[in-house]
């Protein structure tokens, strides 16, 4: 049984207690934790953030008769706030949703609304801010309700955990309604289809918890899916797909609710081509749709299938994101017209493998040779399992994406340190070293770096060169200083030289800029090694000041890297 929740904030505690529902639902996809509909005439524990004024009203409602109205705002972050510290338990995954709508008769006709969590990690003195969900840009109006929905997993011990709704404009007035927090419990019932049943002409697969039959359907105009007896992997029936005119067409099935974000599943299907067909490459894909936007993922990779025998197609697939609709499909990689059979389809929940704790840590085994690390991002350091593995086996980490130029510095006067801080704090809390990656990279430079104040592209003039250099200097100084206590080496310029193509950095600034970037890091963070990263670089060693040890074959650039551009220890780079 779950332990009783402790309410640490009396302002919200009593109201939340009335709304809490403690359910034991084995196999259910959701266990509801909080539901607020404002029908009782109270704010149900919501309180104003900033100058916001909150009031329950019957002017509009997504469900029922009432909603919570927010007025009096003077800043984008002002809005209705809820203390969720007593509700969200560490390392559990929750789905959070709320309906929003602008009030009528105000100057703002459309706006972008967001759900954000303000989080204060135990022992820290400043807050972190986690994005939960956002509407489309200017996607909320006074004409209809819009649902904001996302998932959230708390992975740290915290002293503050406040969820609030904010906007793009400072004074926008809006309603919220039908607020829900539900614990995501992975569906472990799975699905199995052998096409032996007579239901729905043999296309039936499974019945949902709501009593809805799920069957295979044809995806694509002219495509025909038929339960047949001429071929079968097991039993006497299989599913034949004919009439295809495009590679993406094929048999498909709605699996909404069968997969949850962050959980792993085994997808298996047996396939065989129709007689006389040449070998073809088949795969299984999943369409994940959220708020009308579809993303396609490969669940089972390309597999060669023949007409001579049944081929097992199988792989583990981790659900990468939230979805309000999921569609699974068996398609071809390139052959647009081939016909094929499928049989014995199975979708099953794959529980995480246990972490081996009774084996030596890699970092200890290799301590006398070199440090050992992993490339991580926010998902890895906030995942209980991934973070546990990282702590056990590695003594250094390298951010994969969050520290690159564009994501950390999206606007000239705007820094997004949230994800980068999460990684840095994880390293601090666990005594890990960080290799900073990367201050400058030609494939992830924000557009503003090479634009003037009006947004027009900069031309290669001496004045614009100075402007870009000034912007680069500011970026490097700011980022290096922020993480100087935890970073032991920097990829200062990543893949700066590609002999096959020029890049904006070189065109507008010049190859000598690479040396200047490295000098900046050496001056601002003199104890750390700074190097060139990625392909096209070669070198052998650097000292703690990043001084030149070998000239690059392209343009005489300063180096401080091994063959792959990787520093192994603080102040020392070596070949390996």
Q: Between the CA of residue 64 and those of 34, 177, 513, what are the distances in Å?
A: 17, 9, 62
The conformational region for residue 239 under phi > 0 = left, psi -120 to 50 = alpha, else beta, is beta
pLDDT of residue 25: 29
Q: Is the dihedral of CA 449, 452, 455, 461 positive or negative?
A: negative
**CB burial of residue 458 (10 Å; 0-12, 13-18, 19+):** middle
Any bridge partners for residue 510, and if so which?
Answer: none
Instruction: Indicate the pTM of the whole model.
Output: 0.48
Cα 206 to chain centroid distance, Å, stands at 30
**What single DSSP character describes residue 563?**
T
Class of domain 191-349: mainly beta
Least confident interval from 28-42, 140-154, 218-232, 250-264: 28-42
Least confident interval from 237-241, 279-283, 436-440, 444-448: 444-448
User: Using CA atoms, how far apart are residues 84 and 105, in angstroms rounded to an integer?
Assistant: 33
Give the pair of three-digit tokens for residue 368: 């006398």
Q: What is the mean pLDDT of residues 159-182?
A: 95
Q: Are 39 and 65 in contact (CB under 8 A)?
A: yes
Q: Are strands 293-305 and 280-290 parallel, antiparallel or unpaired?
A: antiparallel
**What single DSSP character describes residue 278?**
P
Q: What is the mean pLDDT of the chain?
A: 81
Is residue 464 within a helix (H) or strand (E), and if so which, with residue range?
helix 462-482
- pLDDT grade for 345, boundaries at 50, 70 and 90: very high
- Per-residue pLDDT of 399-434, as tens digits, reads 988 898 888 888 898 888 877 888 999 999 899 999
Instruction: Give the residue with greater pLDDT, 552 vs 414.
Output: 414
Question: For 417, phi and psi rounded to 5 degrees?
Answer: -85, -5
State the Cα angle at 128 between 570 and 99, rounded to 5°: 140
User: Using CA atoms, how far apart are residues 488 and 485, in angstroms rounded to an integer?
Assistant: 8
Instruction: Give the residue with greater pLDDT, 268 vs 450.
Output: 268
pLDDT of residue 415: 87
Least confident interval from 330-334, 351-355, 437-441, 516-520: 516-520
- Per-residue pLDDT of 272-303, as tens digits, reads 999 999 999 999 999 999 878 899 999 999 99
pLDDT of residue 62: 96
Give the pair of three-digit tokens for residue 42: 């109270």
Q: Are 532 and 441 in contact (CB under 8 A)?
A: no
Single out the residue of 119, 113, 114, 128 nearest to residue 417, CA to CA: 128
Is residue 385 within a helix (H) or strand (E), and if so which, with residue range?
helix 384-393
User: Using CA atoms, how far apart are residues 2 and 166, in angstroms rounded to an integer?
Assistant: 33
Q: Are 252 and 293 in contact (CB under 8 A)?
A: no
CATH code for the part of the protein at 10-184: 2.60.120.260
- Per-residue pLDDT of 467-491, as tens digits, reads 988 999 999 999 999 999 999 998 8
Instruction: Give the start-to-end residue ranges of the domains of the chain.
Output: 10-184, 191-349, 362-533
- Per-residue pLDDT of 499-540, as tens digits, reads 444 445 445 455 444 445 544 454 555 555 555 455 443 333
Number of Cα atoms under 13 Å in the Cβ half of residue 207:
7
Q: Is the predicted pLDDT of residue 94 greater than 80, yes or no?
A: yes
pLDDT of residue 531: 52
User: Using CA atoms, how far apart are residues 490 and 399, in angstroms rounded to an integer?
Assistant: 11
Ranges assigned E (strand) in 213-292: 213-215, 217-219, 224-228, 238-242, 250-254, 264-273, 280-290
Instruction: Note whether 191-349 and 362-533 share their fold.
Output: no
Q: What is the dihedral of CA 234, 236, 239, 240, to 10 degrees?
A: 120
- Per-residue pLDDT of 199-245, as tens digits, reads 999 999 999 888 899 999 999 999 999 999 999 999 999 999 999 99
Q: Which fold has domain 362-533?
A: TIM Barrel (3.20.20)
Least confident interval from 4-18, 256-270, 363-377, 516-530: 4-18
Cα 57 to chain centroid distance, Å, stands at 36
pLDDT of residue 402: 82
pLDDT of residue 31: 61
User: Using CA atoms, how far apart are residues 424 and 417, in angstroms rounded to an integer?
Assistant: 10
User: Using CA atoms, how far apart are residues 299 and 304, in angstroms rounded to an integer?
Assistant: 15
Single out the residue of 295, 307, 165 nearest to residue 231, CA to CA: 307
Cβ neighbours, 10 Å, residue 487: 25
Give the pair of three-digit tokens for residue 444: 């992830």
Q: Is the predicted pLDDT of residue 348 greater than 80, yes or no?
A: yes
Single out the residue of 271, 236, 246 nearest to residue 337, CA to CA: 246
pLDDT of residue 510: 53
Q: What is the mean pLDDT of residues 127-146?
A: 93
Number of Cα atoms under 13 Å in the Cβ half of residue 569:
11
Cα 61 to chain centroid distance, Å, stands at 32
How does DSSP assign 70-110, residue by residue? EE---STT-EEEEE-TTTPPTT-EEEEEEEEEEPTTSS--E
Q: Are strands 396-399 and 373-376 parallel, antiparallel or unpaired?
A: parallel
Cα 119 to chain centroid distance, Å, stands at 19
The rounded percent of the chain whose pLDDT value lies above 70 is 79
pLDDT of residue 497: 52
Q: What is the mean pLDDT of residues 322-336?
A: 93
Is residue 426 within a helix (H) or strand (E), and if so which, with residue range?
helix 418-430
């Amino acid at each position: 049984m779950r332990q009783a929740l402790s309410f640490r904030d009396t302002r919200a505690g009593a109201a939340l207690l009335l709304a809490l529902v403690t359910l034991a639902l084995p196999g259910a996809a959701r266990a509801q934790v909080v539901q607020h509909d404002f029908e009782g005439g109270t704010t149900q524990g919501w309180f104003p953030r900033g100058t916001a004024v909150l009031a329950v009203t019957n002017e509009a409602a997504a469900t029922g008769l009432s909603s919570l109205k927010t007025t009096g705002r003077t800043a984008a972050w002002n809005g209705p706030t809820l203390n969720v510290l007593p509700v969200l338990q560490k390392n559990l995954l929750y789905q959070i949703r709320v309906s929003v709508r602008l009030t009528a008769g105000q100057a703002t006709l459309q706006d972008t609304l967001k759900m954000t969590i303000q989080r204060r990690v135990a022992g820290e003195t400043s807050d972190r801010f986690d994005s939960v969900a956002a509407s489309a840009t200017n996607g909320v109006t006074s004409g209809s309700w819009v649902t904001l929905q996302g998932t959230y997993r708390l992975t740290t011990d915290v002293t503050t955990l406040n969820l609030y709704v904010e906007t793009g404009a400072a004074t926008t007035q809006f309603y919220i309604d039908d607020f829900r927090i539900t614990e995501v419990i992975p569906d472990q019932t799975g699905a199995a289809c052998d096409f032996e049943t007579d239901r729905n002409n043999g296309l039936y697969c499974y019945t949902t918890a709501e009593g809805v039959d799920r069957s295979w359907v044809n995806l694509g105009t002219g495509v025909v899916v038929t339960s047949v007896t001429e071929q079968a992997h097991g039993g006497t029936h299989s599913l034949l797909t004919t009439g295809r005119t495009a590679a993406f067409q094929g048999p498909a099935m709605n699996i909404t609710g069968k997969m949850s974000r962050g959980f792993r599943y085994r997808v298996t299907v047996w396939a065989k081509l129709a007689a006389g067909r040449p070998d073809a490459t088949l795969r299984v894909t999943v369409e994940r749709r959220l708020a009308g936007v579809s993303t396609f993922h490969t669940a089972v990779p390309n597999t060669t299938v023949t007409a001579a025998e049944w081929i097992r197609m199988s792989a583990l697939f981790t659900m990468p994101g939230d979805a309000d609709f999921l569609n699974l499909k068996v398609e071809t990689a390139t052959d647009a017209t081939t016909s094929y059979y499928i049989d014995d389809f199975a979708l099953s929940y794959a529980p995480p493998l246990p972490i081996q704790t009774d084996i030596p840590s890699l970092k200890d085994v290799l301590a006398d040779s070199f440090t050992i690390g992993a490339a991580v991002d926010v998902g890895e350091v906030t995942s209980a399992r991934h973070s546990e593995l990282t702590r056990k086996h590695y003594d250094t980490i390298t951010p994969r994406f969050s520290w690159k130029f564009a994501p950390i510095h999206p606007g000239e006067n705007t820094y997004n340190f949230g994800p980068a801080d999460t990684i840095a704090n994880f390293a601090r809390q666990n005594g890990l070293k960080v290799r900073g990656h990367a201050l400058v990279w030609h494939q992830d430079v924000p557009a503003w770096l090479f634009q003037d104040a009006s947004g027009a592209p900069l031309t290669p003039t001496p004045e614009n060169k100075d402007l870009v250099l000034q912007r680069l200097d500011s970026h490097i100084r700011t980022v290096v200083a922020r993480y100087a206590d935890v970073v032991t080496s920097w990829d200062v310029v990543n893949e700066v030289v590609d002999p096959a193509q020029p890049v904006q950095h070189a065109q507008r600034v010049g190859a000598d800029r690479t040396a200047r970037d490295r000098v900046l890091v050496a001056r601002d963070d003199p104890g750390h090694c700074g190097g060139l990263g990625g392909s096209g670089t070669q070198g052998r060693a650097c000292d703690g000041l990043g001084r030149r040890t070998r000239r690059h074959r392209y343009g005489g650039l300063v180096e401080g890297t091994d063959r792959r551009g990787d520093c192994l220890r603080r102040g020392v780079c070596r070949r390996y």
